[in-house]
Structure 1
Amino acid sequence: MSDVMEHVDVAVPIRTAYDQWTQFEAFPQFMEGVHEVRQLTDTMTHWTVEIAGVKREFDAEITEQLPDERVAWRSTEGARQAGVVTFHRLDEGHTRVTLQMEFEPQGLVEQAGDKLGVVDRRARADLERFKQFIERRGQQTGAWRGTVDRPTP
């Protein structure tokens, strides 16, 4: 398993940043390699992505969601992936968005890319594009304010 941890500070209130992050179907507008995300239910999403020239589809489950605090997920099939995005109020109009992710690179190309730091750079660039996207808009494209409680072990 490999780990990624990146953050970006955005010049919008925490509610705006969080609400936009819950709009998974908008991810292709700022995430490189993400072709489509479909929200299947409140807690299930279907992803179509391209990684190192290889197209993949997978489902991911939201395992925890607390408004204005965090969104956690894990893949339910294929390559293992799990992560959490947390939101921290810096002041009234600024928010730190932190991404922590674990993933299992598949195949030689993904393993080599991981060793070269490609995933870290892509995560950092995606967060920067999120910053540009939300700051340019100044408001979220939608919101889901529901809570998903973390499953008990």
Structure 2
Amino acid sequence: MSRLEEQIDLNVPTEVAWRHLHRLEDYPQFVGGVREASAAGDGRARLGVSGTGGDSLDAEFSDRTKARSDTREMTWRTSGGAEITGTCSVLPIDEQHSRVQVRMEYDPAEIRDAFGGPKGFAQVSAIERTVRDDLERFKDLVEREH
């Protein structure tokens, strides 16, 4: 399994970033490769993903707030395709600024089989670049709408 961690600072309060993170209908605007996203009930979501032969990818989401801190976490696990697990944390910097941190674990071979693309180091670099780009688009969306 490969691990990835990326983060970005936002010029919005933690609560604003957290609220936007839960707006599934906005995922196609900032998550690369997602054509559509909708709730499937019971903490589950269905994501229409490009590069999987037009298939959907299911994901289970759960939330928690860490004890003795204002850090909020959303965890997810995909099913019905490449297995990807991850955590998206929203941490307060101060009253008007927050940090979004993404941690993921994935099997590069499964990702390549599901989505195509390069092998080895080039694939890991492409995934890291995609996550960084997703975070930049999330920042732009949230700050523009705030």
Class of the TM-score when normalised by the shorter of the 2 chains: 0.7 to 0.9
Match of 1:122 among 127, 130, 135: 130
User: Displacement of 1:55 after TM fit?
Assistant: 3.9
Higher relative contact order (CA 8 A, sep 6+): 1
CA shift digits 1:33-58 (9 cap, x unpaired):
1101111114010111124x854421
For structure 1, which segment, 96-105 or 121-130, has the greater mean C-alpha deviation from structure 2 after superposition?
A: 96-105
C-alpha root-mean-square deviation of aligned residues, in Å? Answer: 1.9
Consecutive unaligned residues of structure 2, counting only runs of 5 or more, are: 66-70
CA distance in 1, matches of 2:101, 2:26: 18
For 1:115, the aligned partner's letter is F
Identity percentage over the alignment? 30
Do the aligned partners of residues 86 and 59 (structure 1) sit closer, same or farther apart at CA in structure 2, a change above 3 Å counting? same
Do the aligned partners of residues 77 and 22 (structure 1) sit closer, same or farther apart at CA in structure 2, a change above 3 Å counting? same
Match of 1:66 in 2: 64
CA distance in 2, matches of 1:37, 1:115: 30
For 1:106, the aligned partner's letter is R
Match of 2:40 in 1: 40
For 1:39, the aligned partner's letter is A
Moved over 6 A (4+): none
Match of 2:82 among 66, 79, 90: 79
Greater share of residues in helix: 2
CA shift digits 1:39-91 (9 cap, x unpaired):
1114010111124x8544211111x3026601001012221111000011001
1:1-153 equivalence runs, <5 A: 1-51=1-51, 55-62=54-61, 64-66=62-64, 69-104=72-107, 105-107=111-113, 109-110=116-117, 112=119, 115-116=121-122, 117-138=125-146
How many residues are aligned here?
Answer: 135
For 1:76, the aligned partner's letter is S
Match of 1:145 in 2: none
